[in-house]
Structure 1
Amino acid sequence: MNVTLAAGGTGGHMVPAHALAAELKRRGHGVMLITDERGARIPGLFEEVPTHILPAGRLGGGLVGLGKAVRAVVAGRRQARGLYRDFTPDAVVGFGGYPAFPALLAASSMNIPTILHEQNAVLGRVNRWVAGNAAAIATAYAEVERLKPRYLAKVALVGNPVRESVARLGTLPFPEFDDTAPLKILVTGGSQGATILGQIVPDALGQLPPRLRHRLQVVQQCRPDDIEQVRVRYGALNIPAELLTYIEDMPERLGEAHLVIARAGASTIAELTAAGRPAILVPLPIATDDHQTANAREMAKAGGARMIPQPEFTPEVLSAQIGVIAGDSLALSNAAERALSVGRPHATRDLADLVERVAGSTAPLLVGRVEARTPPMAMGAPA
């Protein structure tokens, strides 16, 4: 079969789409990608998949911005229809983000079945717009906010696809850690980095008790504008730290880590839980619909992570939390097991199975296995 994948230009949308593309190709299916210029520039993804960049409007900028967005969507939809006449997809899979919108509209206008994949614990804006026409909605969480109850019959919980090299980590023993072994900490702010991690983490590590501080080995991703300042701070504290603007070998780094300090993006949490790595999560407060806080809840509730809201994220609070979660080897390994308990390492396989069922059948498909959840601050508000 032929399958078109449509994904927005951030790593959170592109990484799971890439994982699905690899699995579909392994099964012998044809795959085509529709994205924007940002998505096409992400290194290491879709290198052997035909990729098409289409215009896609983004809301904002008042009436002028709205007019530009509508024109871009119309143009993108027209171009996508032309691509479908040549490629003839049996299904179109949307991973959210504005670049997916015209591709999904074009598919619905041509009676091509669509599948939506939602990486976050809050149904994204584009997925909300097109959910009514979707043949199936695949989710990464058992509870999903902004998901209307009438769509539950076509929802399947599959998880968030991760790279096979990451999923394999969950089958391996947790890195050895005792009273004398190095404490290896990985710090990542997602594909764009996070300035606040550079501001807070070094000082927090500097406040650890000597029995932990003297055993630290840190790998930290920094924004390019921040890296020299962070390097100076670690040097002043005499803490060994390898600083990078982009972590290309993330599976290897994650495999070595005892503890991860990170944002709560969907791909980050999917990799942490698939690999079984305990974490301290700092949700991005300006994320749309506060979806990173929602993402972090499941892992935190299971005991695999501690969540610190950004307004409370200080060196003192972070240092105390590191002491609790990494204070002894038993606590750390227990947190690792709890992180692994909510992982869904077979998400890629399960999503590919769902795509094959939709693409090969016109019959009604699924019994809902996901709960609609109204955000606490929006009780009674219209979805």
Structure 2
Amino acid sequence: MSIARHFVLAAGGTGGHMVPAAALAAELMRRGHHVALISDERGVRFPGLFEGVQTHVLPAGRLAGGPIGWMRAASSMIKARSMAIELYRAFKPAAVIGFGGYPALPALLAAFNLKIPTAIHEQNAVLGRVNRLVASRVSAIATSYADVARLKDAYRGKTHLVGNPVRDSVLALRAKPYPLLEEDGIFRVLVTGGSQGASVLSKVVPDGLSLLPISFRRRLQVTHQARIEDIDAARAKYAELSIAADLATYLPDLPEQLAWAHIVIARAGASTLAELTVAGRPAILVPLPSATDDHQTANAREMTAAGGARTIEQRNFTPVELAKQMQKLGLDPTALQNAAARARSCGRPDAARDLADLVESLEDTHGDMPIGEARPIKFGDQAVFA
């Protein structure tokens, strides 16, 4: 059993950053360690993710808004770094791990100041802005994809492919079979735009499903997560089209919904992709075109190339195109089950374990290894750069 240590996790307040941080926190606490979280006001409000974890809110301005905005952001960062330094002097972390997002930046800067070992985890297939800023100084870089754009070759020696950690409730789905799909049985569709929903899905999906053959349409049971400003119109549209649908602005039981879904229509956020591939659920993906560096399109490539998903650019995401892709998959149970298996083949269910192994190894950098170099580590059958 490992010696109990203190670890600080720092993440911005979106689900894509917070969910993997929560999964790592749970794994570290199972190993007997103590964990503290640094985030912003949004991050500490995620329900049920960080039970038993100390939480700290730091000011973290965004690097936007021109010269005045930059000055304000710099002032916030300096204040947040000072607060983090005081926290570390009391908490004495063995390592600080950043998951991206602006609150992670002052937390990592404070760790550099005190020469505390550090790591960053990149959820997307493109290295994020904050992670790019600190990549040269951290002790280790953990990635979710084998190919990560904007990750310099110079960092390869400290880069480790671990995957994107998911919640235990999602991980449990990997042991369950793909839901039985009978020829005339209910066909369950899950529609989700991520933690904040997606208006385009609410506008296109009902009309797209209405174009399916009537014998197929009558079998549909839809669960749709919609933005609060879209939900009433989407609910009315499903009712008008006589499509059975349950709508909500938030799905607290998302793992349960994912368990029975035959197909998922979704954005291509990092956590969504990780959950789909761990659970083994085929999907129609509509990447968010405004995502920084178009990272959602990059995220979708691996699962799509494997045959577990079909990707439709938002500009081409029309009711006709959606209906066409639904028929290609949904009308052939064998094709759908094959797609589920191919989606599952992209999953990395040991991501939380492997990331925790990496994090536990970081304290060794206090001894005979300089900060910024990585000790070679083998994580199961996952590829490791060392």
In the superposition, the TM-score normalised over structure 2's length comes to 0.94
Encode CA deviations 1:120-169: one digit per residue, 9 max, x unaligned.
00000000000111111000001000000000110110000001111121
Partner of 2:232, secondary structure, is: helix
Confirm or deny: 8 A CA contact 2:44 2:57 kept in the other structure: yes
- Give the deviation of 1:217 after TM superposition: 0.3
Look up the match of 1:29: 33
Match of 1:220, as an amino acid?
A: H
Q: Is the 8 A contact 1:4 1:33 kept in 2?
A: yes
Q: Is 2:132 the partner of 1:111?
A: no
Which residue does the alignment assign to 1:381?
A: none
Secondary structure at the counterpart of residue 27 of structure 2: helix
Residue in structure 1 matched with residue 206 of structure 2 by the alignment = 202
**For residues 261 and 213 of structure 1, what CA distance do their matches in structure 2 show?**
16
Residue 349 of structure 2 aligns with which residue?
345
- Is 1:221 aligned with 2:221? no
Residue 365 (1) aligns with residue 375 (2): yes
CA shift for structure 1 position 170: 1.5
Native 8 Å contact 1:90 1:360 kept in 2: no
Moved more, 357-366 or 102-111: 357-366
Is structure 2 residue 156 aligned with structure 1 residue 146? no
What SS class does the counterpart of residue 197 from structure 2 fall into?
coil
Amino acid at match of 2:141: I
Q: Deviations over 1:230-274 (max 9, x none)?
A: 011000100000001000001100001000000000000000000
User: Structure 1 CA distance, aligned partners of 2:33 and 2:364?
Assistant: 12
Stretches of structure 2 that go unaligned for 5 or more consecutive residues are none
Corresponding position of 1:290? 294
Question: What residue is the counterpart of 2:182 in the other structure?
Answer: 178
Counterpart of 2:102 in 1: which secondary structure? coil
Q: Deviations over 1:174-201 (max 9, x none)?
A: 1000211110000000000001100000
Give CA deviations for 1:350-370 in whole Å, capped at 9, x if unaligned: 100110111244434137957
Aligned-partner Cα distance in 1 for 2:363–2:339: 40
> Which of 161, 164, 169 is the aligned partner of 1:160?
164
Answer yes or no: is 1:39 the counterpart of 2:34. no
Q: For each residue in 1:314-366, what CA deviation from the matched residue of structure 2 results, as whole angstroms up to 9, or x when unmatched? A: 00000000111112110110000000001001101110011011124443413
Q: Between the two proteins, what is the percent identity of the paired residues?
A: 60
Q: d(CA) in 2 for partners of 1:195 and 1:250? A: 19
* Cα separation, 1, equivalents of 2:220 and 2:69: 49
Aligned runs of 1:65-144 on 2, under 5 Å? 65-144=69-148
The CA deviation at 1:212 is 1.3
Deviations 1:65-111 (A, max 9, x none): 00000000000000000000000000000000000000000001110
- Whether the aligned pair in 2 keeps the contact of 1:179 and 1:328 (CA below 8 Å) is no
Q: Give the 3 Å change call, closer, same or farther, for CA 296–370 of structure 1 in structure 2.
A: farther
Q: Is the 8 A contact 2:377 2:384 kept in 1?
A: no
Matched letter for residue 243 of structure 1:
L
Deviations along 1:36-80, one digit per CA (max 9) or x if unpaired, are: 001011111213211000011201111100000000000000000
Match of 1:306 among 290, 310, 313: 310
Distance 2:212 2:337 in 1: 20
Contact 1:121 1:143 in 2 (8 A): yes
Q: How many Å separate the matches in 2 of 1:222 and 1:341? A: 29
Distance 1:61 1:155 in 2: 33
Q: Equivalents in 2 of 1:255, 1:144: separation in Å?
A: 29
Which residue, out of 322, 327, 334, partners 2:331?
Answer: 327
1:367 to 1:359, Cα distance in 2 relative to 1, 3 A: closer
Aligned residues: 371
Aligned to 2:7: 3
- C-alpha RMSD of the superposition: 1.2
Matched, 1:15 2:25: no
The letter for the 1-side match of 2:199 is T
Q: Is 2:216 the partner of 1:212? A: yes
Q: Distance in 2 between matches of 1:305 and 1:68?
A: 42
Quote the Cα distance in structure 1 between the aligned partners of 2:226 and 2:335: 28
Conserved in 1, the CA contact under 8 Å of 2:96 and 2:118?
Answer: yes
Between the aligned partners of 1:25 and 1:360, the Cα distance in structure 2 is 20
Provide Cα deviations, 1:253-312, integer angstroms capped at 9, x if missing partner. 000100000000000000000000000000000000000000000000000000000000
Q: Secondary structure at the match of 2:136?
A: helix
- TM (norm. structure 1) is 0.95
2:245 partner letter: A
